[in-house]
Amino acid sequence: MRVQDLLDRLEGVRPRGAGKWSARCPAHQDNGPSLSIAERMDRILVHCFAGCTPEAIITALGLGLRDLFMDAPLSQRQRATLLPQTLDLTAIAFQFDLAALDRRLRAEQVLTAVAAFTGEGIEDSQRNRLVKAVVRAYRDRERAELFEGVADALRVMAYEERIARHAA
């Protein structure tokens, strides 16, 4: 079986990179994509993050486990197309920067709002919610710093790759 034949039987299929997709799992009531599909050289891998077994997934599609194996061996040329393509580290770094900015802005909004708040006249349950929001804000700040560090490291890796390519 080809991976496209399997993907045609699934709902909510989304690409997730070279040779990878997500979809709604056919083995359970799935509101979001919890099924991961990956194409390898000689087989198709399926994994449900909700816990469905590969047997249950394939049976729900009216297939057998043997259908997860490619019909014919792949040629060298076909294998080359399945190999992961090089990642654009600069683009990934940018995504980490965006995630850091989002968390940092969210945290600053919460902490600014709480700084002006006196806390008088609120119930214990509301005070607990407020404390939890402040804790989340500080965690978001920490995650933002982590994401910024990852972005910086990715940019360094991209720079080093460019230098190595030009030196070769």
Q: pLDDT by residue (tens digit) across 57-82?
A: 999 998 888 888 876 555 555 555 55
SS3 state at 77: helix
Determine the structural domain holding residue 139 and report its residue range. Answer: 89-167
**Could you state, in chain order, the average pLDDT of each consecutive group of 10 residues for the chain (168 residues)?**
87 89 91 90 90 92 86 54 68 94 95 86 89 95 96 94 86
What pLDDT shows up at residue 86? Answer: 67
Residues 119 and 159 in one domain: yes
- Domain co-membership, 123 together with 152: yes
In this structure, what are the phi and psi dihedrals at residue 116, rounded to the nearest 5 degrees? -90, -5
Q: Number of folded domains in the chain?
A: 2
pTM: 0.48
